[in-house]
Structure 1
């Protein structure tokens, strides 16, 4: 038999049990507090990391992020460069901006109008610079829809520009067709149709881009100096470039406007001098003197 427990022993046992329960409760509270503190620290660390990432994105900008909101607000301005600014720019000083006569070439037609062809790629920095002049020039003969801001490849200039990928062009005087064969990450984008691919391989066997083809003339490459564009690769680059084009000033404005005059002069050769207000303007007339006969 076991020894019976007296009253005093029972009181001691009861008190000791209460102390043990209290100690256990304290231990559990401490554990919960430690877990809560650890969770709070993790939450703070995550919040700080997210905040830093957002701040960095705002300060440096995602080089490929070009939304259709405020980022595209420059496009209507690009399509409406003042005629006086084009006139002041005159003819391009760089011989590379002058289209070369194509041996055996002839005017192409589509939809009953002379046809102009562009082949490029979104990653290409020279395509990036040339598109500014093409859009400015052709907006004097018609209108674009679906133009969107983009950049050349991050590791190839990261130059702010416009893409023709989803664009259409409407004009009473000219048919303009454009293809961007790869995106800014060098992935395949658009495939040349058979007739354009044949022209591209025949007249541009080395396959260089950009390639602008007028049927009778071609411009391999870009006639606009690339270096100045590298000074406008920030988040506001598109607006900076078009602002210079509007005034014909700065390290980009005049050279792009003059190249646009050269493009317009070449187009006027295809359209028979129409529209007259463009083809007889001072800037286009100055550039027309450089058209290769």
Structure 2
């Protein structure tokens, strides 16, 4: 009996030793998994820090798309009247042309239609004067920030985005369409906004000669069915290396080349918009700079 008891005791000891070994192995496995997870977190955080230090914030020219902060929107809306007056429009080389077409309206108000794409450097340049001009008649919300594609001409031009933005005004309605992002997927820029059927029809009908110089160019802007323009009114090269904040700050300085281009073009857009609103608001439409800019508008 004692021998049998001894055998059973040894068997129990072997089983206990095996279970203890399995528990130690399981603990080692869990520890290695935990260490691996910590390592991944460290790598990810380190990568994000590196991107941020390299200029990956939303306000850098190479930053990702994001929301425009309040200070940026405020800066675009608070350009001094004296700056618009000093800049004028003498240096503006391209302006909207008058067309004969049915009125473009929404909610009983003249409608401004913008169609562009986030990858496009010319769209990047033109969003600035379009936004500045419209900000003299109303308010944007959910305005975005982005940059043009890094592998196109004038790469990574800092700009705004109308994707997801809304606009309120007692004078005007606005529709902003960004058809693609600035990021390629399988060799093509990823789709973003799809124009409504009526807006696509406007684009197809008036974004070609004789209304504009070349067919299908972007950005395309239709101002109430009275004026259209396509392309940029100044070279995106002017904005090279600038952040959104730096561009917005430059718009207040009439001596800045950026202000002369952007504010000058905004004066011309404003002159066109004043023709849609019967010269309202008077504080904007009756200024000497806006009245002089009306002479830049192309004839039908």
TM-score, length-scaled by structure 1: 0.76
1:75 pairs, out of 54, 73, 76, with 73
Counterpart position of 1:211: 220
> What CA deviation, in whole Å up to 9, does each residue of 1:264-284 have, x standing for no partner?
000011111111110111221
CA–CA separation in structure 2 for the residues paired with 1:47 and 1:170 = 43
Aligned alpha-carbon RMSD (Å): 2.7
For this pair of structures, how many residues does the alignment match? 248
Counterpart position of 2:127: 131
1:99 pairs, out of 96, 99, 103, with 96
1:278 pairs, out of 284, 290, 294, with 284
| 1:1-293 to 2 correspondences below 5 Å | 53=47, 56-62=50-56, 63-68=62-67, 73-96=71-94, 98-102=95-99, 104-156=100-152, 157-185=155-183, 186-205=189-208, 206-214=215-223, 215-232=225-242, 237-293=243-299
Shift in CA distance, 83/189, structure 1 to aligned 2, threshold 3 Å: same
Shift in CA distance, 192/277, structure 1 to aligned 2, threshold 3 Å: same
Flag structure 2 segments of 5+ consecutive residues without an equivalent. 1-35, 57-61, 184-188, 209-214
TM-superposed CA distance for 1:101, in Å, is 2.2
> What CA deviation, in whole Å up to 9, does each residue of 1:155-211 have, x standing for no partner?
232111111111111111111111111111121111111111111111114211000
CA–CA separation in structure 1 for the residues paired with 2:282 and 2:103 = 20
CA–CA separation in structure 1 for the residues paired with 2:195 and 2:42 = 48
> Larger deviation: 222-231 or 45-54?
45-54
> Larger deviation: 46-55 or 114-123?
46-55
Partner SS for 1:289: helix
> What CA deviation, in whole Å up to 9, does each residue of 1:201-255 have, x standing for no partner?
11114211000112122111110221111131xxxx1111011101223231221
